[in-house]
Amino acid sequence: MKNTFDPEVKLKITIMNASLITLKQLVICIVSCFTMTCIGQNTTPISEQAEIFIIGTMHEVPKIVKHSYKPLLKIAKKYKPDAIYVERQRPEDTLSVINYESSYFIPLGDSISKTFKKDVQRYRQLRKTSIYKMSKEDFKFLADHYAVYRDRANYAYYKYLFKFGINGSKKPLRNENYDLTAPLAIAMDMNFIYAMDHQHETQLYTQLSKLCYRESSKDGQLKKLKKHNKRDYRKHMIPAIFGNLGVYTNRIKTVKRYEYANRFEFRETPCTSCDDAANVWDRRNEGMARNIGTQVVKNNHKKAVIIVGAGHLLGIKKELEEQFPGIRIKIIDQKR
């Protein structure tokens, strides 16, 4: 007997199969959307999110440890940033510039402006040009341009290029600007350095610090800070001898010891001037983080390196994580 299907039954089976496929696709779609929006709250793929890598520095180092920035430069080069941010004042932040640059840089820029010939078209063209294609005259022009417009970060960079050329200084200059920032920018072929400092309360911090030390000297608590500083100095000796000072400076435990002094945490009893000074320090970190994050977002930077005094490292990290939760923050001592 020949086995045949009823056409009506066959049609019903086909419709059921199609419905199952559609239902399966719908479930997959709902799960995907839930994963991306309800759970992650961010539909941007992780690989496309901005990232900030903070490197703490020692500012200027003694001659005996003049090569201290080599390990940090190696780490920074390996990271391959698309932008560098440094602890300098943004030219548009007039208050910070006046507070911090009045004694040297502003008078220098005013002096250069008397003979400097502004050339907007040349400047705009050079901003699009690789530093490897620039001449020594171009370096001089840009250094003077940035001095006139009160951009010390780029003035220092192009002054370095004018003096040492694209190959850089053969000897260490013992300073973060010339042993870390400039060599890194050259290696990455960057023609612009971003400033991010926040110096709105420079004088206030100095005044409050002096009052805090005076009060701490009177009640004997300053001895605790002096003891801490001596112990901290000894802890730096072995890493310095073995050429590991830069990495040691970036350890979380080390940075917390810097904060112990910078934020006057040695106090065991309340002290108004010390507490106020600590608050000013925190507000500076808050301002620097805001300057960094705002520019990173505006310029669509994906891998930015921040070169800043190590005492600010954890404060800036905390502020960036709070103000810009969508940006990943990295430090050298990442695992802790």
Mean pLDDT within 235-255: 94
The pair of three-digit structure tokens given for residue 41, joined into one six-digit string: 């709250």
> Which pLDDT value is given to residue 24?
44
- Kindly state whether residue 251 falls inside one of the protein's structural domains: no
Mean pLDDT within 187-196: 98
Residue 153 has pLDDT above 90, yes or no: yes
Express as a percent the part of the chain with pLDDT over 90.
85
Q: Are 327 and 52 in contact (CB under 8 A)?
A: yes
b/e for 78-93, b at 16 or more Cβ within 10 A?
A: ebebebbbbbbbbbeb
Q: Are 292 and 51 in contact (CB under 8 A)?
A: no
The values of phi and psi at residue 137, to 5°, are: -65, -35
Residue 85 has pLDDT above 90, yes or no: yes
- Kindly state whether residue 237 falls inside one of the protein's structural domains: no
Residue 241 has pLDDT above 60, yes or no: yes
> Which pLDDT value is given to residue 47?
43
- Kindly state whether residue 42 falls inside one of the protein's structural domains: no
Mean pLDDT within 147-168: 98
Please report the sign of the dihedral spanned by the C-alpha atoms of residue 79, residue 154, residue 248, residue 324: negative
Q: What are the residues whose beta carbons fall under 8 Å from the beta carbon of 321, sequence distance 6 or more?
A: 329
Task: Give how many domains the chain has, as a whole number.
Answer: 1
CA of residue 55 relative to chain centroid, distance: 7
Amino acid occupying residue 155: Y
Mean pLDDT within 287-313: 98
- Kindly state whether residue 218 falls inside one of the protein's structural domains: no
Residue 121 has pLDDT above 60, yes or no: yes
Q: Are 82 and 304 in contact (CB under 8 A)?
A: yes
Q: Are strands 51-57 and 328-331 parallel, antiparallel or unpaired?
A: parallel
195 beta partners? 86
Residue 309 has pLDDT above 60, yes or no: yes
Cα dist from 47 to 11, 43, 50, 167, whole Å: 47, 12, 8, 33
In total, the chain counts a number of residues equal to 336
Cα dist from 321 to 43, 53, 106, 316, whole Å: 19, 12, 34, 8
Burial of 306: CB neighbours in 10 Å, binned 0-12, 13-18, 19+ = buried
- Kindly state whether residue 162 falls inside one of the protein's structural domains: yes
Helix (H, G, I), strand (E, B) or coil at 37: helix
> Which pLDDT value is given to residue 32?
41
- Kindly state whether residue 5 falls inside one of the protein's structural domains: no
Residue 324 has pLDDT above 70, yes or no: yes
| Cα separation, 145 vs 131, whole angstroms | 16
- Kindly state whether residue 220 falls inside one of the protein's structural domains: no
Mean pLDDT within 140-158: 98
| Cα separation, 300 vs 321, whole angstroms | 18
User: Which of 58, 11, 30, 41 is closest to 247 using CA atoms?
Assistant: 58
Mean pLDDT within 57-85: 96
Give the structural domain span for 79: 49-201+279-331
Q: What are the residues whose beta carbons fall under 8 Å from the beta carbon of 329, sequence distance 6 or more?
A: 51, 52, 54, 317, 320, 321
> Which pLDDT value is given to residue 11?
38
> Which pLDDT value is given to residue 335?
55
- Kindly state whether residue 178 falls inside one of the protein's structural domains: yes
Give the pLDDT band (50/70/90) at residue 14: very low
